[in-house]
Amino acid sequence: MPIIRSDPVAQKGKKDAARHREKQKDAIRRQLPEIIARESIITSKKGKIVKVPIRIMDIPHFRPAQGSAGAGVGQGKGKAGGVIGRRPGTGKPGEAGDRPGEEYLETEIEMEELIEMMIEDLGLPRLEERKGEGMVAETRFKIRGIQKTGPWVLLDKRRSAREGLRRFWEFLHYLVKETGRDELACFDALEQTDGILADALELLKSGAYAPIHTVFEPFPIFYPDDLRFLEQKKDIEYHSQAVVFALMDTSGSMTDKKKYLARSALFWLAAFLRTIYERVEIRFIIHDARAEVVEEEEFFKKVLGGGTRAWTAYELAGGLMDSEYPVSEWNIYLWHFSDGEDFEPARAALEAKKLIERGISMFGYGEIEPSSSHSDSALLAAFKEILDVQVHWKEGFMVVAGRDMPFLAVAIQKKEHVHLALREFLDKERWGHATK
C-alpha cells in the first residue's frame, strides 16, 4: 500500500494565501477603469502603497447546527428560486442607497504592481528608449586593453616578462649565428654583459672571453618597447531620460471636475513613463490667456480665471526645450488638457506643429468634457485643419491621430474615458518612429 505524504500545514497555508491573493488581483483587474480615476490614488504623495476597495469574496464554510437533533438537515419549507436570506449591506463605498448592498473590504497593493496590471490590461508595451550623447549617468574607468606606455602601477608583469623572454631568444639565436658558439656560451656572454647584445657579441669575438656560468637559465631582457601596460579608458554609462510637459487650461471655464479628470490622466501617464525611463522630470505649466511654470501643488489648485490662449503654453514649453531639454538628449512628452475653448486656436495649432516638427516623442491633447459630442471645439477644429490627422471612433470614444506625426487628441467626457485615453496615448505603434 503506497504511503502518501501530505503537505505540511504551513505549506498549505502559503498556497491558500497565494491563491487568495490571486483572487484579489483578479477582482482589482475587473475594476481597473474605475480604480484608475479614483481620487484617493491620484492625490497620494508618494504612491508606494494604495488601498483599493474590493467586494468580499465568499469563502465556503460549514456551520454546525444548533438545537435539537437533525436541525438544519434537508430542504425544509420553500420553493425553487425562493430567497432564503440576505447579507446586510450599505451599497458600494461612498454611495448611498435604500437596498441591501454588498460588503467591501480594502486591500493594499503596491503602486508599481498596480501600474503593471494597468499595462497588462490595456495591452500597453513599453515604449522604446532613446539614448543620447549627453545623457551621462555614470563615469568610471575600466581596463580596455594593453599598451606600451603607461604608469608603473598599471605595469602588466606577466605580459612584459613574456616580451622580455622573446627578446632573450632573439639575441641568443643571433649570437649563435654570428659567432658559431653553442647556446650555453652565448647565454653566458649575455649574462656577463647584462643582456646588452653589442657587448655580448664583442666579448664572444675577443680572445679574452672566459665562461663563468655552467647552467643554461633563460632570463628576460627588457627594452622600453618590451614593457606592457594595462590600458585604462573611461567607461561612460548612458541612461535614458524623459521630460513630461504637463499643460493645463486653468481659465474660468475649467471646473474642478474638469481639472480632476485632467489630473487623473496626467498622474497615470507620468507613472507609466517612470517605469521605463531612468530619469523622468515633469514640468507643470498652467495657462489662461498667458502661461506660467508652477509647482505640482499649485498646478492642480490654482485658477487663473481669464480667457484662453493655449499657444502661450506651447511657446513656453518650446523655450524650456531650448534652454534645458534638447530633443537630441531627451524624450519629450507634452500633454495638454483643456475644454477646447480658445481665443486664438489657429495660432495654438501652428505652435503645436512647430513642437512636433522639432522631433518630440509625443504631443497629446485631451479635451475635457467638450460642450458637444457632435461638433468640434475651436481648438480641436484648428488641429484638424492645420495638422494632417485622421478621426475614428472606438467604443463611442473619439480619437484624432496624426497620419505621420506623433499627435493624438482624445475627448474625455467621463471617468471611464480616462482608461480609454491612456490606452490611446500609450500605444507603442503610434509613437515608435519618434523614439529611435
Count: domains in the chain: 3
Where is the domain boundary, 232, 248, 263?
232
Q: What is the pLDDT of residue 135?
A: 46
Cell of residue 98, nine digits? 435604500
pTM: 0.55
In a domain, 370, yes or no: yes
Compute the distance between CA of residue 17 and CA of residue 32 in angstroms, rounded to an integer.
Answer: 22
Question: pLDDT of 408-432, one tens digit each?
Answer: 998 888 777 887 888 788 776 654 4
Same domain, 305 and 413: yes
Same domain, 197 and 311: no
Sorted by sequence, the CB contacts under 8 Å of residue 370 that are 6+ apart come out as: 339, 340, 377, 380, 411, 413
Beta bridge partners of 349: none
Greater model confidence, 212 or 270: 212
Compute the distance between CA of residue 340 and CA of residue 379 in angstroms, rounded to an integer.
Answer: 5
Same domain, 200 and 257: no
In a domain, 90, yes or no: no
Where is the domain boundary, 197, 232, 267?
232
Q: How many CA atoms lie within 13 A of 271 on its CB side?
A: 26
Same domain, 211 and 257: no
Evaluate if residue 316 carries a pLDDT over 60: yes
Q: What is the pLDDT of residue 131?
A: 47
In a domain, 365, yes or no: yes
CA distances to 153, 226, 234, 294, 330 from 147, rounded to whole Å, are 13, 10, 15, 54, 37
Angle, helices 345-357/311-323, rounded to nearest 10 degrees: 20
Same domain, 308 and 354: yes
In a domain, 137, yes or no: no
Same domain, 228 and 256: no
Host domain of residue 355: 240-434
| Lowest mean pLDDT segment, chosen from 94-108, 129-143, 156-170 | 129-143
Burial track 279-303 (b if 16+ CB lie within 10 A, e otherwise): ebebbbbbbbeebbbbeeeebbeee
In a domain, 421, yes or no: yes
Evaluate if residue 281 carries a pLDDT over 70: yes
Where is the domain boundary, 176, 200, 232?
232
Compute the distance between CA of residue 380 and CA of residue 365 in angstroms, rounded to an integer.
Answer: 9
| Lowest mean pLDDT segment, chosen from 16-20, 46-50, 362-366 | 46-50
Q: What is the pLDDT of residue 326?
A: 92
Same domain, 334 and 402: yes
Same domain, 208 and 329: no
In a domain, 174, yes or no: yes
Same domain, 269 and 392: yes
In a domain, 387, yes or no: yes
Same domain, 363 and 221: no
Question: pLDDT of 138-158, one tens digit each?
Answer: 555 666 778 888 888 888 888
In a domain, 4, yes or no: no
Same domain, 271 and 370: yes
Greater model confidence, 110 or 168: 168
Cell of residue 101, nine digits? 448592498
The CATH number of whichever domain residue 273 belongs to comes to 3.40.50.410
Compute the distance between CA of residue 404 and CA of residue 383 in angstroms, rounded to an integer.
Answer: 14
Q: Of the segments 46-55, 56-65, 313-322, which one has the largest average pLDDT value?
A: 313-322
Same domain, 294 and 400: yes
